Chain A
């Protein structure tokens, strides 16, 4: 890789690693060491292909896609392990209104209860404000699957209102 690309990569890491870490933090359900590993591994994977990405504006989306897919693979394995040993799921809060939710509900803890793909969809949807189409592209799945993961994820977060299943809304695609 030329020095120009290395400088570009280093500048990108300097500028965006904190933002990527926050995404990784949510994607790993609040596991800080895992989030750091996820960021570093994703940047390392992106680095070897850096020169081939001609559009500088595509760098972050490219790294994020690597990160999301790595997170879903890695944490899916951990989740299965957890299920295999029969762990009891933690208590899920049932908010009756937003104020009550705010006072008792911890976002990170709630995210940690989701499946990896549910968590990824929720993070991309509500943290990155991505459209259904963009999320589907990032995860490499259909928009229907995104809707399913979102709906189930929201439900698993405990965000049902008055017993009515919550249906997340998506803005139109890009």
Chain B
């Protein structure tokens, strides 16, 4: 009986389908809407006006013999492709003691927050999106896990490719993003939230819900910022808040998968500064939390060679109030200030602090 009814329903669909006549202009309208979709979406969302310039009409190459003359889009059907993309990039905010000092999770609650950007259209929107994410420094106080901080624009990796398949989006980077600070004993930002930056940015910008697989030169990445990855990562957080462009994560930024194990410390608000010094990339870190001895301020300087694969790191500790602010960098001098207003100068050339 079941098999009989299965077949009967199947036949009903096939019979009914034969009676359905698609609208005559379906093809032309579909192509037109596809070419204008981004423009319309932006208008609806009330975000940014889209610059439209490049005329692609002449660039449309009709595959010879594959379309009948009646179904070929005419020049009037086609509108110019946008010269730029507008979408939201997601960054990690929150965390640290300042968010909730009474929370059991000393790392606080990490949240994603978004900023709208417009980038030139290279013809590969997924790649444009991820390239923007790794290159963009948020204007709000937030962590971009794909470049070292909110202040700098030194990407931790280059994007090889972004491939959207029916089941997964694959983001291939050119170097591992497991441990950007291998020589320091402070904790890293939350890798899970950083990964969600990528998932939320791609899924939202592409208006689709697909997991994201992170690969390094074609091989699955072992993780990101001490957060191990085991295959594609799906959108997390309250999806009901997706429209509000905010997601919360309860997970702390503390991970224990560090070899050797990291001490039990917090990661707090930090600012990193970047520059070039004696041919090397220089990253300077300072902050008032996230250190083994919070009563003592600490300046951490990392140097990287030009391809950023060999890293050196050393620290300079400043006894005092426990907070340091980088006032200025005039190579090779980094000028620092603590909460009391006392000034220090760290000489990167000699390693001296005075």
Contacts and interface: CB of A to CB of B under 8 A. Distances in A.
A13 to B, nearest CB: 5
A93 to B, nearest CB: 13
A127 B17 contact: yes
A168 B10 CA distance: 12
Interface stretch (B123-131, B147-155, B296-304, B335-343): B123-131
Given A7-B63, A22-B20, A58-B166, A45 B26 contact: no
A39 B66 contact: no
A43 B125 contact: no
A66 interface: yes
A22 B61 CA distance: 27
Given A40-B30, A52-B124, A62 B20 contact: no
A3 interface: yes
B67 A14 contact: yes
Contacts of A62: 165-166
A29 to B, nearest CB: 12
B207 A45 contact: yes
Contact of B33 (A32, A44, A49, A169): A44
Interface string B12-34: 11101100101100110111011
Contact of B10 (A36, A48, A129, A166): A129
Interface residues of A, number: 59
A142 interface: no
Contact of B166 (A1, A40, A61): A61
Contacts of A69: 209
Contact of A11 (B13, B67, B208): B67
A105 to B, nearest CB: 8
B42 interface: no
A98 interface: yes
Contacts of A137: 167
Contacts of A98: 4-5, 8
A22 B2 contact: no
Interface string B140-176: 0000000000000000000000111111000000000
Interface string A37-80: 00111011111110111110010011001100100000000000
Nearest to B66: A11
Contacts of B36: 44
B125 A49 contact: yes
A3, A32, A159: most-surrounded residue (chain B CB, <10 A): A3
Interface string A1-44: 11110111111011101100110011000001000100111011
Given A6-B56, A6-B61, A45 B37 contact: yes
A36, A43, A52, A159: most-surrounded residue (chain B CB, <10 A): A52
A75 B38 CA distance: 23
Contact of A107 (B12, B72, B206): B12
Nearest to A162: B1
A39 B206 contact: no
The 7 tightest CB contacts between A and B, nearest first, are A44-B37, A47-B34, A52-B164, A21-B22, A127-B13, A7-B61, A3-B59
8 contacts: A44-B30, A48-B37, A49-B125, A49-B208, A62-B166, A98-B8, A126-B10, A159-B5
Interface of A: 1-4, 6-11, 13-15, 17-18, 21-22, 25-26, 32, 36, 39-41, 43-49, 51-55, 58, 61-62, 65-66, 69, 98, 101, 107-108, 122-123, 126-127, 129, 137, 140, 159, 161, 166-169
Given A7-B62, A10-B31, A61-B166, 9 more contacts: A6-B60, A10-B60, A14-B27, A14-B68, A39-B30, A44-B37, A58-B166, A62-B166, A122-B9
